[in-house]
Structure 1
């Protein structure tokens, strides 16, 4: 009757008011209130899916799309950094229906030609928390938080989820990203994005452009680009030429030093690489070693040994006795940009001989292995990648030093030694 309709309408209006207040609480200064408001709102999402308010769309879906858009619209603020609250939202992304509707909303937002830096950061924080199963990439999904109708085939389809995920990333990478966000994106692309998008080659333009930037950006882009080359048949013939150009003295001092050597070891792991290419990398690295700190040398020298072990043809670099090569007569051209034209295979690693006179004991011991003979098995570099100068200093301090003799004759008094001539002229 009319009275019930008025009362129902009044209740819905009050419910909408409550929703507005809860949404406002998502931007509250208190983290506890933010998380509590998010928890309440998500419970209301579940309740609305069971008891839909909008009967017009009831036949298509029971999911409260409008309420969910308000929640995501606030979380993805243009002015407020919501990374912490988005981290709390991650637990809901474990449900496939929440993930699906989140991706749908992200597709809509990411289609904008430009986005503020804060919005970009919030979108990335949300994307970073979205994960997919590593095995089943095409089957149906069934882990739902809300009521899902049988007719909602897209929500139940993993393929559809991945299509939306791909769209979001392709749109997002068109933004003009800040330097910090740019690096974060490049770090997660190889493991969290490339395996789950429908066509990884869609990222080839972004990764090749990033690889050509230089510096840390090129380093971070190299892993994703290498995956596209080796696993997805991307044709990029200048990969090793560009990688060769990244070998500069600064690699021993950058924040991503460990990651760089780990990736370089991965890129050079193939035994099918040409010997003259491997020789060029070995020669370039050992030349850099003349100016490298001890922590860098303890990675670099065994790294070069591993290259020689993988490529026996490069043993001539340490076994050459037919010519006397030094810095002035070295046929290797360090200024040549193309490693295959550098003449490294006609040279030798005389720099390792120089490092045998290094002031740090562990370095010259490692360099001395060249004379004894490098091992047949590769040296494990896992623990060395993270090594720093502070680690070496602490290790030296922790060593127990033996008592060192400072004189051969025990002293019996001041100016009383047998070799002490001063005592002949002075008496105390």
Structure 2
């Protein structure tokens, strides 16, 4: 005992790297040096020098790798060492011999040391003191155990512990995701079990958030803030992991079916009866590459749907909505499962509704989603701020697509046209350009609202239609209300806006816009849009992402034939003409000595 203590005291102070290599080689050479195992484990620590950690890691990995197939499972080892004895065990002499077998006890001890080794590696992996190179080596060792520990099949429990340590670590998760993306996410089984682990983490967060909500009366405000911060941090990390996993492909190539473990080879030797007894998610012996590929969409869907039920932070919420139509919806097993999430997002209003419109439009047009108040919500989104929003290009393109159907009622098309026309007075020049293009397309698609371009007053129309010899008493009495617009800009009901009785007088004011491109572009509405064969729709993509910079760039690249010049026929002698300011003189003083 004294010799062991002296070695333990020496390890932290006097051991050199050469002596550490000697300890590892002795451990690999003979079981007589098994006491070197705990000593090497003590060097697997964030406080140890990196070269000592790597040397101990390599020796222990070389020691445990050949023994992995012989080590008992954690449950069997615990039951063999800690299970209380019963009368049946006393009568069963074979079990008694098994429990007292030195080899069984030794293997159980090795298993406990292996579990300790894995936990120490996880501590080093997520420690803030560890270097990125050391993390790469440690993660590679853990992934080798994931591959080899379960008889050559994917060991999902160790992999889950790796992801759990990463999710709850204080280190920036991008450090780990860079390694996982470059080396391991290309394997189909790694992606498969990552989705399973993410779903488990989400369920754990849901349970913890419910418990914390029940304790809000008892806990102090500081504790509540800490729990909210930790919850948000975990949600952000889960989202980072989900967003970095390559999504399942519809027509995957053979390279996409490559597996980190050899489950397809080892599973063929097992009997079908044994396969049925094991959990499909926990034991990958049932999962061949083709089976995983078939189930991948289901795991992908469960992971994302469960994640979207969490109370997402606002920045994560917006980021999800901005990319969900490209990264999530095409790969879901049933995209209609997102209808609740998207409709709630669309009902929030503001920027969130603008960002949710893209995905909601896909569900409506491609997956048969019915949303009764869709156009009322879309109409409410038309505010000046949307024309300077970050995602305005996508929103304006979808707005044009939503109003493309020729079956829309005339009052609806007129309301949108008039609303856009009114907005053209209060948006930047780039917004006026895209509004003009949108109105052009609406007038071309819906000839029934073309009267908005030039709406005459009732009395003027009656006078034009009446005969010259008709007495005034026979004409219908109407009120001539010049300068009154019947359009109610504050009305949310599209049937009551009064747009059909109004006119697009706002567009006429754009003829005198201070920005030349706007005043020039308004002339496009002067064409006869009722003859659709002679006109084509404008591409909103060409105007939707416009800004002051794009307008300025177009103007400086524009070739101008005639340039207005300021010149004088005679040299001016005063700053202003005398006729402009009678009684005042603005003569240029002549300096002495000069003519």
Change (3 A) 1:338 1:159: farther
Alignment of 1:313-352 (within 5 A): 313-321=448-456, 328-352=483-507
> CA–CA distance in 2 between the matches of 1:35 and 1:244?
55
1:352 shift after superposition: 0.8
Is residue 391 of structure 1 aligned with residue 545 of structure 2? no
Quick check: 2:177–2:241 contact (8 Å CA) kept in 1? yes
Deviates most, 400-409 or 112-121: 400-409
Partner of residue 94, structure 1: 186
> CA–CA distance in 1 between the matches of 2:144 and 2:553?
55
Quick check: 2:188–2:259 contact (8 Å CA) kept in 1? yes
Partner of residue 45, structure 1: 143
Quick check: 1:107–1:167 contact (8 Å CA) kept in 2? yes
SS of equivalent to 1:168:
helix
1:71 shift after superposition: 2.1
> CA–CA distance in 1 between the matches of 2:317 and 2:455?
46
Deviates most, 151-160 or 116-125: 151-160
CA deviation map 1:385-415 (0-9, x unaligned): 222123334554666887643234143x868
Of 326, 333, 349, which residue of structure 2 is paired with 1:198? 333
Partner of residue 152, structure 1: 286
More helix by share: 2
Alignment of 1:106-255 (within 5 A): 106-112=198-204, 113=206, 114=209, 116-136=231-251, 142-149=257-264, 150=267, 151-153=285-287, 156-255=291-390
Deviates most, 335-344 or 362-371: 335-344
1:259 shift after superposition: 2.7
1:154 shift after superposition: 7.0
Quick check: 2:487–2:497 contact (8 Å CA) kept in 1? yes
1:272 shift after superposition: 3.1
SS of equivalent to 1:157:
helix
> CA–CA distance in 2 between the matches of 1:154 and 1:170?
25
Compute the TM-score of the two structures, normalised by the length of structure 2.
0.61
CA deviation map 1:198-245 (0-9, x unaligned): 222222111111111111111111122222222222221101111101
> CA–CA distance in 2 between the matches of 1:96 and 1:414?
86
Quick check: 1:229–1:235 contact (8 Å CA) kept in 2? yes
* Structure with bigger gyration radius: 2
CA deviation map 1:147-192 (0-9, x unaligned): 1234423763333222222221222122111110111111222121
Quick check: 1:141–1:157 contact (8 Å CA) kept in 2? no
Change (3 A) 1:275 1:148: farther
> CA–CA distance in 1 between the matches of 2:539 and 2:481?
30
Quick check: 1:28–1:34 contact (8 Å CA) kept in 2? no
What's the Cα RMSD here? Answer: 3.7
Is residue 66 of structure 1 aligned with residue 157 of structure 2? yes
What stretches of structure 1 of length at least 5 have no aligned partner?
Answer: none
Is residue 366 of structure 1 aligned with residue 534 of structure 2? no
Of 291, 298, 307, which residue of structure 1 is paired with 2:426? 291
Partner of residue 23, structure 1: 122
Is residue 407 of structure 1 aligned with residue 498 of structure 2? no
Partner of residue 34, structure 1: 132
> CA–CA distance in 1 between the matches of 2:304 and 2:313?
16
Quick check: 1:326–1:350 contact (8 Å CA) kept in 2? no
Deviates most, 374-383 or 5-14: 5-14
Quick check: 1:211–1:219 contact (8 Å CA) kept in 2? yes
Compute the TM-score of the two structures, normalised by the length of structure 1.
0.83
Deviates most, 89-98 or 3-12: 3-12
What stretches of structure 2 of length at least 5 have no aligned partner?
Answer: 1-29, 38-62, 65-109, 210-229, 268-284, 461-479, 580-584
CA deviation map 1:60-119 (0-9, x unaligned): x71132332232112212644413532442232222110111111111111121371111
Quick check: 1:78–1:118 contact (8 Å CA) kept in 2? no
Partner of residue 259, structure 1: 394
